[in-house]
Amino acid sequence: MLKRLGPSVVSAAETDDAPLFPSKLEFNPPAHGVWNIVHIGMLVPEAHQIYVCAINCMRGVVLTAAEMGASDRFSCVVLKEEDITRGTVEEITLAGIVDVLRKLETRGGLPPCAMVFPVCTHHFLGVSMSRVYRELEREFPGIDFVRGFMDPVMKRRLSPDQRLRAVMYDPLSPCNATEKLVACLGSDFALDADCELRDVLRRGGYGFVELQDCDTYQEFKGLARAETLVATYSNARYGISKLAKRLKRRYLYLPSTFSYEEIEAQYHALHEALDIPLPEFKEEIARCEDALESLRKELGNVPIAIDMSVHPRPLGLARLLIEHGMRVAEVYMDGVNSEEETDLGWLNEHAPDLQISSIVLPELRIASRQRSYDVLAVGQKAAWFTGTSHFVNMVEGGGLWGFAGIRAMARLMQEAWETEKDARDLVPRKGWGCVSCF
Amino acid sequence: MNRTNRILPVYTGDVSGACSALYELGGMVVIHDPSGCNSTYNTHDETRWYDQDSLIFITGLVERDAILGNDNKLIDDVVDAALELHPRFIALCNSPIPFITGTDFTAICKIIERRTGIPTFYVRTNGMHDYTVGAGRALVEVAERFVNGDGDTTVPHTLNILGATPLDFFQKDAVAGLYDFAHGAGFDVVSCWSMGNGLDELGRAAQASVNLVVSSVGLPVAKALRRRFGTPFVVGTPVGGFMNELAAALCYSEESRTDSWPCRDARVSSADGSCCVVGEPVAAGSYAAALERESGVPVRVICPLEAPQELRVSGDLWVDGEEEVERALAEASFVLADALYAPVCPPSARLEPLPHLAFSGRNCYGQLSSEHAHA
């Protein structure tokens, strides 16, 4: 067991104990590319989001919508102090949502789908949201009401993000399946254009559709026809498996990974389930090796910092890069994804000096963000913490997947090293990949 | 229904207001709120977050601790951080869930102060009021605890600027403009509450011979300083053709030791609402006065915030929610307001942008010409 390097930093060799860091006060680095529930909900075409909360809580979500130019798809019901002291939160919630919908009706028509987001307060005051939805469905029978929640106080097995990735698909109704149609759902981003999965499925005679392909609500509802549902993003695992069970569809969880073995296993799973041809693994891996070798030559001994917001598998990426002779010095993360336990074990043994730093602990607010040497950061938070202008500007995997995903990451890192970016301008922007007011 | 906003955003809340007011004072501000709630403030309401460190944290409150009343975690975490980071003071802010469970912040502050030896106070917020309320209360706490003096040793022709936070003054030259105005009026600035100055400068506020309240955020602290030191105050924001009257009011109040409300008293409001200014009422009243000087047309102030009625002239409207704003603007042909008010302005009205960070957040950057954008 190696040393603890500081209250907010541990070495990879010291991460046997979970959680990595004690629960203390928290701060929030000014890197805002990670999507929140507003961004995610906007993926459902024509859906209108309605939040019911106090103004301090409302501010973040209402301005998320405004910053992405989507204020016309967002409304709110403001809870006030007297609602709490007089016990009228349930009535205001119901009356407020009805009022919003009536106003929408008179100004262009009702939306086909209303995503409703009550908050922590509703839990604590025992508001019957079942009654609220019952009344709403009676009043507006043509609207699909999605039962969202923005309740970060409820630290349960599933986060609001994970639950939204489940309930947002509730409007999909059981129907006859379209043979040989695969739908990839649950991710914020469509799979990268170069991803070989599309070709493999096409060669197997399969159609492939993603949520991001839908321009209308009807097209969204049509996703239910897919015979096979695929989730590639870990936060969508619960939601898409639940959807597949409800629609009685084949379900495959094929997370984006940096392990050749895991990708091969995923293709074997696809082959077994869909009888698709397997890609030429040797050829695909050889191309990845070329890309990684090119990156290694470019970087030499440059220290690399990775953060957990860039991809669900930051430790897997660290392992891949170290295995290929590169120098990963820091990983910024506050918890280990259970899918990364093997990678953590490997790093424990092979990279004991790798520093794992918290992202939120208070002392990091005043820690120096200047390095006397150049750093290549992979992720916005790592860029901010290391003060570098060489960084991969991406979040949540960015749609990278499979062998092509590994090559794309190598290419992005190489580009980031070759070309500086303005972190001050880019990382405070909310919702990477979304329209931004900046 | 005045609780619903079909398309307008809401103003910055009281918790963010308190954080903004205390940002540069070297203290540690702790919001008792769940993890995830912290990004609202630092993303949308705080222009300084990227470039200037400030010890503003959340506790990461969880359901179990809230229900079981586990205040010890809050206390221990604050004490640990304070002993590590050595802030000048500690301020605790409430939020909706601890408000519901009735957390006793006053007692918690006493315990923390005893354990750390660091002045600790509670800023009475709950996330359900406007930033004007939270920021105003935060500055009063500072005035009560950290300003010393007896009011008899004031320095002539000096003033404090009260109520300047980026929520109302986010343009990069805004604070410099306030200083320029003060100097132009013949006054030196003792302190600016609270941008560009630390706790030491604010602690000398009793030396000023008059206080200039540039937003409603500064009004409660002006009253506190008047009560404690007898310092008179003048209410108004230096804009356009209103500046001469404001400067004259400063001289008058310093001389007479009486308060002046030129943003209210130097204008008449529009009876028919054809010309309107929407926003924070001290700035809006000042713009209304300036417009009236320029055009000779009375201008109505529409205040959508929790702000004192004493800032209101007959004909002005204090409104609550989108529906009331829309109704108040129904007859307008000219509107000076943040551009995000466009959807509730009559189609025939001319909307002149008056960007306001506390309303449109970072969207207001796009309403500025590049030379005025915040650094």
Read off the CATH number of the domain in which B139 is found: 3.40.50.1980
A116 interaction partners in chain B (CB closer than 8 Å): none
Give the span between the Cα atoms of A426 and B50, in whole angstroms.
12
pLDDT of residue B151: 66
B78: closest CA among B115, B130, B45, B42?
B115
Tens digit of pLDDT for each residue in B330-351? 999 999 999 999 999 999 999 9
Do the chains contact at B39 and A32, CB–CB below 8 Å?
A: yes
Give the span between the Cα atoms of B210 and B213, in whole angstroms.
10
Is the pLDDT score of A78 beyond 60? Answer: yes
For the domain that residue B359 is a member of, what is the CATH number? 3.40.50
Best of B43, B97, B364 to substitute, by most chain A Cβ atoms within 10 angstroms, is B43
Residue in A with minimal Cα distance to B80: A24
Assigned domain for B1 exists: no
Question: Cis peptide leading into B353, omega within 30 of 0?
Answer: no
Q: Which two tokens stand for residue B12?
A: 């910055």
A370 interaction partners in chain B (CB closer than 8 Å): none
Cβ–Cβ < 8 Å for B95, B129: no
Tell me, yes or no, whether B138 and B252 share the same domain. Answer: no
Residues pairing with A207 in the sheet:
A181
pLDDT of residue B242: 96
Q: Is A210 helix (H, G, I), strand (E, B) or coil?
A: strand
Nearest CB neighbour to B84, from listed A152, A155, A363: A363
Q: What is the pTM of this model?
A: 0.95
Domain boundary, last residue among B144, B177, B192: B144
Tens digit of pLDDT for each residue in B53-62? 999 999 999 9
User: In whole numbers, what is the pLDDT of chain A averaged over residues?
Assistant: 94
A26 interaction partners in chain B (CB closer than 8 Å): 35, 38, 57-60
Tell me the mean pLDDT in the region B136-145. 98
Tens digit of pLDDT for each residue in B3-62? 999 999 999 999 999 999 999 999 999 999 998 777 889 999 999 999 999 999 999 999
Tell me, yes or no, whether B188 and B250 share the same domain. Answer: yes
Nearest CB neighbour to A56, from listed B1, B4, B95: B95
Query: Closest approach of chain B CAs to the CA of A101, in angstroms?
Result: 9
**A159 or A164: which leads in pLDDT:** A164
Do the chains contact at A25 and B66, CB–CB below 8 Å?
A: no
Element (H, E) at A100: helix A89-106
Domain boundary, last residue among B109, B144, B179: B144
A52: closest CA among A149, A163, A134?
A149
Tens digit of pLDDT for each residue in A294-344? 999 999 999 999 999 999 999 999 999 999 999 999 999 998 888 999 999
Residue in B with minimal Cα distance to A125: B100
User: In whole numbers, what is the pLDDT of chain B averaged over residues?
Assistant: 95
Tell me, yes or no, whether B88 and B178 share the same domain. Answer: no
Residue A419, classified by CB atoms within 10 Å of its CB into exposed (0-12), middle (13-18) or buried (19+), is exposed
Tell me the mean pLDDT in the region A344-364. 92
Tell me, yes or no, whether B103 and B193 share the same domain. Answer: no
Cβ–Cβ < 8 Å for B215, B282: yes
Provide DSSP, B33-45.
Answer: --TTSHHHIIIII
Best of B64, B128, B365 to substitute, by most chain A Cβ atoms within 10 angstroms, is B128
Question: In CATH, what class is A45-167?
Answer: alpha beta
Nearest CB neighbour to A124, from listed B57, B97, B365: B97
Ramachandran assignment for B26, one of left (phi > 0), alpha (psi -120 to 50 degrees), beta (any other): left
pLDDT of residue B374: 41
Is the pLDDT score of A6 beyond 70? Answer: no
For residue B197, give its domain range.
149-263
Domain boundary, last residue among B144, B172, B190: B144
If pLDDT is split at 50, 70 and 90, which confidence band does B77 have?
Answer: very high
Nearest CB neighbour to A153, from listed B11, B16, B63: B63
Is the pLDDT score of A48 beyond 90? Answer: yes
A54 interaction partners in chain B (CB closer than 8 Å): 13, 96, 126-128
pLDDT of residue B373: 46
Is the pLDDT score of B371 beyond 70? Answer: no
pLDDT of residue B270: 80
A154 interaction partners in chain B (CB closer than 8 Å): 62-63
Q: Who contacts A258 (Cβ-Cβ below 8 Å, separation ≥6)?
A: A313, A316, A317, A319, A320, A405, A406, A409
B363 interaction partners in chain A (CB closer than 8 Å): 63, 66-67, 437
A119: closest CA among A79, A162, A73?
A79
Query: Closest approach of chain B CAs to the CA of A27, in angstroms?
Result: 5
Tell me, yes or no, whether B218 and B173 share the same domain. Answer: yes
Number of domains in chain B: 3
Give the span between the Cα atoms of A158 and A162, in whole angstroms.
6
Tell me, yes or no, whether B133 and B28 share the same domain. Answer: yes
**A110 or A364: which leads in pLDDT:** A110
Assigned domain for B345 exists: yes
Tell me, yes or no, whether B180 and B95 share the same domain. Answer: no
Query: Closest approach of chain B CAs to the CA of A411, in angstroms?
Result: 28
- Beta-carbon-side half-sphere exposure of residue A218 (alpha carbons within 13 Å): 0
| Intrachain domains A45-167 and A178-274 with the same fold | yes
Tens digit of pLDDT for each residue in A55-72? 999 999 999 999 999 999
Tell me the mean pLDDT in the region B252-269. 96
Do the chains contact at B36 and A62, CB–CB below 8 Å?
A: no
Tens digit of pLDDT for each residue in A221-255? 999 999 999 999 999 999 999 999 999 999 999 99
Query: Closest approach of chain A CAs to the CA of B44, in angstroms?
Result: 7
Is the pLDDT score of A1 beyond 50? Answer: no
| % of chain B exceeding 70 in pLDDT | 98
**B271 or A97: which leads in pLDDT:** A97
Q: Who contacts A378 (Cβ-Cβ below 8 Å, separation ≥6)?
A: A304, A305, A306, A307, A310, A311, A314, A317, A391, A392, A409, A413, A416
Tell me, yes or no, whether B258 and B305 share the same domain. Answer: no
If pLDDT is split at 50, 70 and 90, which confidence band does A5 have?
Answer: low
Do the chains contact at A362 and B84, CB–CB below 8 Å?
A: yes
Is the pLDDT score of B296 beyond 60? Answer: yes
Tens digit of pLDDT for each residue in B197-206? 999 999 999 9
Tell me, yes or no, whether B20 and B73 share the same domain. Answer: yes
Tell me the mean pLDDT in the region A45-59. 97
Do the chains contact at A96 and B3, CB–CB below 8 Å?
A: yes
CATH among 3.30.300.30, 3.90.1300.10, 3.40.50.2300, 3.40.50.1980 for A178-274: 3.40.50.1980
Tens digit of pLDDT for each residue in A379-391? 999 999 999 999 9
Residue B275 has what DSSP assignment? E
| % of chain B exceeding 90 in pLDDT | 92
Cβ–Cβ < 8 Å for B81, B58: no
Tell me, yes or no, whether B322 and B304 share the same domain. Answer: yes
Least confident piece of the model among A203-207, A265-269, B215-219, B367-371: B367-371
**Pairs of CB atoms within 8 A across A/B:** 209
Give the span between the Cα atoms of A308 and A314, in whole angstroms.
5
Residues pairing with B260 in the sheet:
B234
B64 interaction partners in chain A (CB closer than 8 Å): 155
Delimit the domains of chain A by residue range: 4-29+281-426, 45-167, 178-274
Do the chains contact at B12 and A28, CB–CB below 8 Å?
A: no
Do the chains contact at A438 and B343, CB–CB below 8 Å?
A: no
pLDDT of residue A9: 74
Nearest CB neighbour to B1, from listed A95, A154, A430: A95
pLDDT of residue B366: 84
How high is the ipTM of this complex?
0.95
pLDDT of residue A427: 95
Is the pLDDT score of A290 beyond 60? Answer: yes
Do the chains contact at B99 and A63, CB–CB below 8 Å?
A: no
Give the span between the Cα atoms of A223 and A208, in whole angstroms.
10
pLDDT of residue A18: 58
Assigned domain for B6 exists: no
Best of B7, B56, B93 to substitute, by most chain A Cβ atoms within 10 angstroms, is B7
pLDDT of residue A215: 98
Cβ–Cβ < 8 Å for A8, A23: no
Q: Who contacts A108 (Cβ-Cβ below 8 Å, separation ≥6)?
A: none
Do the chains contact at B7 and A96, CB–CB below 8 Å?
A: no
